């Protein structure tokens, strides 16, 4: 295990490392008061094993050689992995960019096992940031139900509260990939914050921002700029110009205090696990929010509806680059 640096928050990062996961990883690595003490991968943007390869290569490029990376679930709790989304993230998940190989391999422990071990080592202080399907977390809960008592908080990039989904009329990709796991994790009895499409699609990274990364003198940061190129192309029909959403990085920033969730009420959240057209929907009970944020008594699930953004300038500063001018 890797030790957390003094005066930092230990974080377990669960991901399906594609393009936006890469930005989230970079954000966490460059956050001084955070220590990533373990990373688990899950099938989503790419297969779990490929996500681990991407993660290890990114860590190596960033000069991080001690963070353990564990391969997690290949298939969701029910059904099977659908093969990823190469039209969104590229064939390899990181925009078809060929990063140098890492000298390290994933550890032998599963992602669920790693999470359980870390929760014991950092009992009461471990934060989970999950930016892919929630299968690993659900498997860990099945293996050790007391996990909920040892984890301080869970932040999930996923869902859609008041806006359409992105893989169906109502379902967001991470939740829709494994609705059964999402339902179990979100309502396990720990403190969960859902960062949905309502906010992640509104915070954009523009071409000038990407150029700022490309022109960085840091090989890790400039690689992120190259990785984003394919992702920008995918978003043209969505935004009408080259840009991208900041899904996972925004969730990482909210989890670590880098940006404030200005409207984040505690409300009941249910995940539709039926086999009908609503499968994968995150049903957030917002009936009490008509006249402003109001926490529902007893609810331990929060949904982020607005932030103190814009986030892109803060992300650039955290990654050590300014605004690029040609």
316's CB contacts (< 8 A; 6+ apart) are 209, 212, 213, 322, 323
Residues 230, 276: Cα–Cα separation, whole Å: 33
Q: Are strands 306-307 and 261-263 parallel, antiparallel or unpaired?
A: antiparallel
Taking CA atoms, 202 is separated from 134, 140, 305, in Å, by 23, 32, 11
Q: 55: which 2 tokens?
A: 């993660």
What are the angstrom distances between the C-alpha of 211 and each of 1, 42, 65, 220? 36, 30, 28, 14
**Annotated active-site residue in 14, 20, 247, 248:** 247
Whether omega before 301 lies within 30 degrees of 0, making that bond cis, reads: no
CB 179 within 8 A of CB 271: yes
Q: How many CA atoms lie within 13 A of 95 on its CB side?
A: 21
C-alpha gyration radius of the chain: 18
Question: Are 168 and 272 a contacting pair, CB within 8 Å?
Answer: no
Concatenated DSSP letters of 272-296: --SSSTTTTBEEE--GGGTTS--PP
Rounded CA separation 193/190 (Å):
10
Does residue 247 carry a catalytic annotation?
yes
Tell me the CA distances in angstroms from 79 to 75, 178, 179, 183, 207, one per residue in order: 7, 9, 11, 16, 38
Using CB atoms within 10 Å of the CB of residue 202, give its burial: 0 to 12 exposed, 13 to 18 middle, 19+ buried: middle
From the list 16, 50, 198, 248, the catalytic residue is 16
Backbone angles phi, psi at 214, to 5 degrees: -60, -35
Catalytic residue positions, numbered: 16, 247
């Amino acid at each position: 295990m890797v030790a957390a640096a003094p005066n930092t928050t230990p974080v377990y990062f669960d991901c399906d490392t594609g393009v936006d996961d890469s930005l989230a990883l970079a954000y966490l690595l460059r956050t001084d008061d955070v220590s990533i003490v373990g990373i688990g991968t899950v099938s989503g943007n790419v297969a779990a094993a490929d996500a681990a390869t991407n993660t290890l290569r990114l860590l190596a490029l960033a000069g991080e050689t001690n963070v353990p990376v564990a391969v997690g679930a290949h298939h969701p709790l029910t059904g099977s992995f659908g093969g990823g989304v190469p039209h969104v993230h590229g064939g390899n998940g990181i925009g078809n960019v060929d990063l140098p190989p890492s000298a390290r391999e994933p550890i032998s422990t599963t992602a669920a096992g790693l999470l359980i071990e870390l929760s014991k080592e950092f009992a009461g202080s471990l934060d989970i940031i999950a930016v892919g399907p929630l299968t690993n977390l659900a498997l860990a809960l099945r293996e050790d139900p007391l996990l909920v008592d040892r984890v301080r908080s869970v932040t999930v990039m996923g869902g859609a509260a008041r806006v359409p989904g992105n893989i169906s009329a109502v379902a967001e990709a991470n939740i829709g990939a494994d609705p059964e796991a999402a339902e179990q994790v979100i309502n396990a009895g720990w403190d969960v914050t859902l960062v949905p499409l309502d906010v992640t699609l509104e915070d954009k990274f523009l071409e000038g921002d990407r150029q700022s990364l490309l022109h960085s003198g840091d090989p890790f940061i400039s690689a992120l700029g190259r990785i984003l190129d394919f992702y920008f192309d995918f978003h043209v029909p969505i935004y009408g110009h080259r840009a991208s959403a900041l899904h996972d990085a925004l969730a990482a920033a909210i989890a670590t205090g880098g940006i404030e969730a200005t409207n984040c009420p505690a409300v009941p959240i249910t995940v539709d696990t039926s086999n009908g057209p609503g499968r994968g929907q995150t049903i957030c009970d917002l009936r009490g929010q008509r006249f402003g944020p109001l926490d529902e008594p007893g609810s331990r699930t929060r949904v982020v509806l607005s932030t103190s953004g814009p986030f892109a300038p803060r992300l650039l500063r955290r990654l050590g680059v300014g605004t690029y001018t040609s």
